[in-house]
Structure 1
Amino acid sequence: MANNVNGFWCHGDQFCGCFSKVGLGQVKRLVFTTTCIFFFFFLFAAALVHLMYVPIIQRNPLPQMISSPQSSTTKHLTRIENLLNCSYLGLRQNCPNNNSSVFKPDELSTKTCPDYFRWIHNDLQQWKNSGITKNMIETGKSSAELRLVIVNGEVFLEKFGKPYQTRDLFTLWGILQLLKFYPGMLPDLDLLFFTGDKTMIKKIDYQEPNSASPPPLFHYCGEEDALDIVFPDWTFWGWPEVNVMPWEQMLSAIKNGNKRIKWENRVPYAYWKGNPYVSLERKDLRKCNLSDKYDWNVRLYKQNWSKENEEGFKHSKLEDQCTHRYKIYVEGVTWSVSEKYILACDSMTLMIKPRYYDFFSRNMVPMQHYWPIRNTNKCRDLKFAVEWGNNHPDKAQAIGKAGSRLIEEFLTMRNIYDYMFHLLSEYAKLLKFKPTIPSKAQRVCWETIASSKKLKGPWKEYMEQSMVKSPSDKIPCALPPPYEPQVVQAFLDTKEKITRQVEVWQTEY
């Protein structure tokens, strides 16, 4: 509604236009006209800024690491989190129209993938008969943080939530490297991803006869009671927030660290270092530390990430932690990425019974790759395991070496990319619709991320280190067939039998 304000006609609470009232003097009209024009352009600029504004970060993503919101790490992370806001970077315009790399392998013959690839079939079994529909994707968005669509070799990303730290960025980076490793080979697909810790798609929610079909959700870990599809975690391409290098560089550093102290000369106790406050299991483990009353043969150390961040991570290097004959693995909120680093240390891994698994750990065997520890009697079991190992050093050392060898052989980056390739390819076969680009998705590509001026410090360094330099000279390994149910059951029974035998020893002790 028009209102007369000081002799000028203006419309509404927000400026729409001003017109001088007929009969006013020339000077007054000029002054107010100039004011109106200035006000108009001011509001126009404000509206333009509002439309172009892209929120950067609304919470501190490193509450345990950053002592001050003005720290350099926070500033770097804020800039880097913008990398996945594709509209901000204009990635749709900056990405090349097509991938210039061509896959021309020198070797056409191939070997069979390691046995743990068979779990791919099990993880997708839920959708074998029904297939995966567009509606399943839509209903699963509430459990996801990312939607990743690949069409004609181009990657499009839609974000629903705020992933912790830069897990999403490094997971996306890994997928982009897969496309460089095997250019033109990955089929079109449409998938949902969750980068948090807890499993999201619970079996119990879909057991009723009239229940809706569960949505497929990719995740870093799984459990017996969930349907999450297990995918290699982000740390294979680096975890800059805690100074963990990409996997190839990190494994090489740990192997060199193993050579500093021979197993027989290492400290004859069980070692663990980490954040004890993220789970009840870790809190309970603290009771086993050395005290005035008890010595459980365990040495536990609290990891102060805030202090480490301030001091440049001088006391948290993984390659410096292979100093004890025994190392403890205990889950965090769920599964922990520390598992592979602990196993790589040549020390006998004392594994407190895990509830969760990652993509490779289901093929590990107790007393061959690790020593099993009960949840209910940690301290006594740990003490017995250390005494057994010190009394049987050859056997304990052999278990430690076998665990390290498994990690080194299972987790080559070629195997990681082959696992990703087969998992995504088998998943794509289940789609009952042709993937199309979502209206809110933006195109992303490795060229734009790698060249971004916002990529600073270890984030940039780790991406450069983990970048695929050229396409593979070999075709992917051949995916083995699924395990027969009776084979899976026999394997689980064998693991249980071995574990129960160790429990008998522990109880007698």
Structure 2
Amino acid sequence: MDKPTINRTEHASMPLPLFRYCTTPDHMDIPFPDWSFWVDRSEINIRPWDEEFRSIKKGSKRRNWSKKHPFAYWKGNPDLFLLFVWNCFSVMTLSSGQHKYYARYKIYAEGYAWSVSLKYILSCGCCPLIISPQYQDFFSRGLVPHKNYLPIPSTDMCPAIKFAVDWGNSHPSEAEAIGRAAQEYMGSLSMDRVYDHFMYLYSQGTRNCKLSCRSGRRLLWKYAKSLCFVLPMKSKGSC
């Protein structure tokens, strides 16, 4: 689910309607909300999205902008962290160990593919620094550079991060406004809207479905019968 697979060149004649958590301009995979929007995984500190966003927003108000550390905060893959330290330590101050709410800037860097961390970074009230994303999820295409985040090129990444941090520290009201706009954008993404997006995708998909009601019932019955081979039978003749 992490990486798109329906390449536009290979599948141009008959694109498959495959849902993925992310897509790219070169793929036809349909962006679909990821699991973290609606599941309750308290054992790993992930709650349903509406509840999680309220908690993040509340935490972001613990310090006002002037009291936040004038650094860029990043958390993720240890190998990428070493890359940041090796290349950036001499040109910028890293906020190692600082709480995510207490830094003015938060770095988003993709790893293997799209990362679920994007919505949390956008929600915490910091000014997001997004490093040239290759992948798009269902909501990130609505983000506007310099309004919801500061873009960071993947080439000359560390000087660009330092420049963004220096610019933000010399223009605190503008940097704070970007962080606030990102948070407001995520605040508008309620679960009602997420489910509206579900419905839109399904309704658009069914418009292209040529199955009749009768053939649909036959397929459903065949599927139900197939479950007899994988589910324990409660009583004789239950299937």
TM class by smaller structure: 0.7 to 0.9
Between the aligned partners of 1:276 and 1:382, the Cα distance in structure 2 is 19
RMSD of aligned alpha carbons: 2.2
Q: CA deviation at 1:216?
A: 1.2
Q: CA deviation at 1:285?
A: 3.6
Matched, 1:244 2:22: no
Q: CA deviation at 1:276?
A: 3.6
Q: TM-score, normalised by structure 1?
A: 0.41
Between the aligned partners of 1:202 and 1:257, the Cα distance in structure 2 is 41
Do the aligned partners of 1:329 and 1:352 also contact (CA within 8 Å) in 2?
A: yes
Between the aligned partners of 1:338 and 1:198, the Cα distance in structure 2 is 16
- Among 222, 225, 229, the residue aligned to 2:26: 225
Change (3 A) 1:300 1:372: farther
Give SS of 1:326's match: strand
Identity %: 41
Q: CA deviation at 1:300?
A: 5.0
Give SS of 2:223's match: coil
Residue 428 of structure 1 corresponds to 206
Residue 186 of structure 2 corresponds to 407
- Among 211, 223, 226, the residue aligned to 1:439: 223
Do the aligned partners of 1:346 and 1:400 also contact (CA within 8 Å) in 2?
A: yes
Give SS of 2:75's match: strand
Residue 25 of structure 1 corresponds to none
Q: CA deviation at 1:288?
A: 4.3
Deviations 1:231-290 (A, max 9, x none): 11100123626321111111111111011111110110000112244xxx7664443453
Do the aligned partners of 1:344 and 1:404 also contact (CA within 8 Å) in 2?
A: yes
Residue 200 of structure 1 corresponds to 5
Between the aligned partners of 1:442 and 1:382, the Cα distance in structure 2 is 54
Bigger radius of gyration among the two: 1
Between the aligned partners of 2:96 and 2:152, the Cα distance in structure 1 is 16
Matched, 1:296 2:126: no
Do the aligned partners of 2:75 and 2:81 also contact (CA within 8 Å) in 1?
A: no
- Among 57, 63, 81, the residue aligned to 1:261: 63
Do the aligned partners of 1:289 and 1:300 also contact (CA within 8 Å) in 2?
A: no
Residue 234 of structure 2 corresponds to none
Give SS of 1:222's match: coil
Count of paired positions = 220
Q: TM-score, normalised by structure 2?
A: 0.84
Matched letter for residue 426 of structure 1: Q
Between the aligned partners of 2:126 and 2:197, the Cα distance in structure 1 is 27
Matched, 1:327 2:123: no
Between the aligned partners of 2:137 and 2:40, the Cα distance in structure 1 is 17
Where in structure 2 are the equivalents of 1:281-360 lying within 5 Å?
284-290=83-89, 294-300=90-96, 321-360=100-139
Structure 2 unaligned spans of 5+: 229-239
Give SS of 1:226's match: coil
Where in structure 2 are the equivalents of 1:437-476 lying within 5 Å?
437=220, 438-439=222-223, 442=227
Matched letter for residue 27 of structure 2: A
Do the aligned partners of 1:288 and 1:296 also contact (CA within 8 Å) in 2?
A: no
Structure 1 unaligned spans of 5+: 1-195, 302-314, 444-509
Structure with higher RCO (Cα < 8 A, 6+ apart): 1
Do the aligned partners of 1:389 and 1:395 also contact (CA within 8 Å) in 2?
A: yes
Do the aligned partners of 1:297 and 1:386 also contact (CA within 8 Å) in 2?
A: no
Between the aligned partners of 2:73 and 2:103, the Cα distance in structure 1 is 6
